[in-house]
Amino acid sequence: MVAVSPHPNPEPSTRIERQSLHDAILSRLRDMIIEGHLVPGTRINEGQIGAQLGVSRTPLREAIKYLASEGLVELVPSRGAVVKSFSAKEVLDMIEVIRTLEQFAGSRACQIATNQDIGRIRDLHDEMVACYRSGDRLRYYKLNQAIHSGIVALADNAALSDVHGMLQTRLKRIRFIGHEGPEKWAKAVAEHEEMIAALEARDPDRLSAILGRHLTLAWERVKDSLQP
Amino acid sequence: MVAVSPHPNPEPSTRIERQSLHDAILSRLRDMIIEGHLVPGTRINEGQIGAQLGVSRTPLREAIKYLASEGLVELVPSRGAVVKSFSAKEVLDMIEVIRTLEQFAGSRACQIATNQDIGRIRDLHDEMVACYRSGDRLRYYKLNQAIHSGIVALADNAALSDVHGMLQTRLKRIRFIGHEGPEKWAKAVAEHEEMIAALEARDPDRLSAILGRHLTLAWERVKDSLQP
DNA sequence: GCGCTAAATGCTGCATACAGTATTCTTGCT
DNA sequence: AGCAAGAATACTGTATGCAGCATTTAGCGC
């Protein structure tokens, strides 16, 4: 059983030719993992995926090595790459590191962000709230991520954005699955509102506290859908 | 000018055949970067390095992609990989993230580490002090790193160890160069002693404070040898 | 029918070959 | 001599081929 895609032979529809092939393969693979087309625990068949993407195994293997360093796949000697599957503890660990990073970022942001920077986050937030009201979950999800990345970016620390982005990417698949009930969703939106307010008030302690709570909620949202 | 190695033709002495070729190439490349044989800013000539290592370009390129994700090299389209060079701000940013991570790790360690775990860190510390007294800088340096990684490991958080290790790796080259004067070195050793004491006392606040100071010292130690 | 062994298949890991692009060198001009 | 344009070289990016290992399948004995 390979189960690489729900569509066994879905025409090589999504061929690749834009920009750098490496980057293109990379994002396609990431998407396939995040969206669940590549199920955790399954081996990546280079021949098959290569054919599906319309590239030879060489650049595909290079992209896989990159993903391995990102932690999305695991390299098993003589058996190629396996889509990494995360235990509940591993997910919790990631969330706790993200919490730490975002709290640090938030404090910095309160110090150095310009009003304009904060305004841009507020705009994203307003847009996200609109998606919440209209029930547009996918766009909500994207904007949610953008806000968190945005706050981290306000800290103006490349290494911070790097590691935060890496952990976010690892979690994307988990978050992508989880669909919270209406109460938790409402709570999440309310917390976001508080976050933005604390940021606008440039109150690092308040921002830190609310970010902490928010990530605890994120954990509660996904924890039940995970293996021990 | 390529300037890949100080020795233009140093016999292909260090051929590779052990374990997984991928891992072997990876650590060789990391060493070459950390030890300065591959100077920041220079392009990596796949043919030359491949010949030097005794492997073809294919697995070498795969390893390079891995290093790119680790942030040790940068991929430039149609020009291959360039050894990443870090500005002073980037280094400072990394150190601040490491500080945040280690403080989080330290707090956790105070809560969950066993006495035996802490004892092992103490042993490393004692060994390091011995190297300090005997002036064995290289071993001191290695043990220093091991202690910091060890404290992070005590937090029992894989994601934390991951990102901490990644940033440590990026900084290794910088640290490798910096040779502090006797006063700063003595100060560093004294701080380490305090760190271990705080850990043994399981006092997270004290440990956090000393870790913070220690990393500030690390910054002061290297900042002058960096470009703006 | 069940388990074991051996052949056959499939896949990974590495090397090589080739095409396209950047870089360097050369040549001719001012 | 200095500069520009074109040729020659060198290197990267991708595909393909082949050897070795893993897995599956077929055959055989019990």
pLDDT digits (tens, 9 = 90+) for B131-159: 999 999 899 999 999 999 999 999 999 99
Q: Considering chain B, what percentage of its residues have pLDDT values greater than 90? A: 82
- Are residues A163 and B167, on separate chains, in Cβ contact within 8 Å? yes
Residues of chain A with CATH 1.20.120.530: 88-225
Q: Give the Cα separation of A44 and A53 in Å (integer).
A: 13
Structurally, at CATH architecture level, domain A21-83 sits in: Orthogonal Bundle (1.10)
CATH topology for the B88-225 domain: Four Helix Bundle (Hemerythrin (Met), subunit A) (1.20.120)
Please write the tens of the pLDDT for every residue from A10-49: 333 344 444 699 999 999 999 999 999 999 999 999 999 9
In this prediction the pTM is: 0.90
Q: Give the Cα separation of A58 and A63 in Å (integer).
A: 9
Q: Please check whether residue B163 touches A, CB under 8 A.
A: yes
- What is the arithmetic mean of pLDDT over A54-73? 98
Residue B165 has pLDDT above 80, yes or no: yes
Q: Considering chain B, what percentage of its residues have pLDDT values greater than 70? A: 91
Please write the tens of the pLDDT for every residue from B73-89: 999 999 999 999 999 99
CA of B28 to C1' of D26 (A): 45
- What is the arithmetic mean of pLDDT over B96-109? 98
Q: Please check whether residue A130 touches B, CB under 8 A.
A: no
How far off is chain A from B73, nearest CA to CA, in Å?
A: 12
Q: Please check whether residue B162 touches A, CB under 8 A.
A: yes
- What is the arithmetic mean of pLDDT over A59-79? 97
pLDDT of amino acid A72: 98
Q: Give the Cα separation of A101 and A108 in Å (integer).
A: 11
How far off is chain A from B225, nearest CA to CA, in Å?
A: 20
pLDDT of amino acid A175: 85
Please write the tens of the pLDDT for every residue from A174-227: 988 767 788 888 999 999 999 999 999 999 999 999 999 999 999 998 888 887
Residues of chain A with CATH 1.10.10.10: 21-83
pLDDT of amino acid A180: 73
- What is the arithmetic mean of pLDDT over A114-143? 95
Residue A155 has pLDDT above 90, yes or no: yes
Q: Give the Cα separation of A37 and A33 in Å (integer).
A: 6
**B157 dihedral zone (left: phi>0; alpha: psi -120 to 50; beta):** beta
Weakest mean pLDDT among A153-157, A160-164, B219-223? B219-223
Residue with more model confidence, B68 or A181: B68
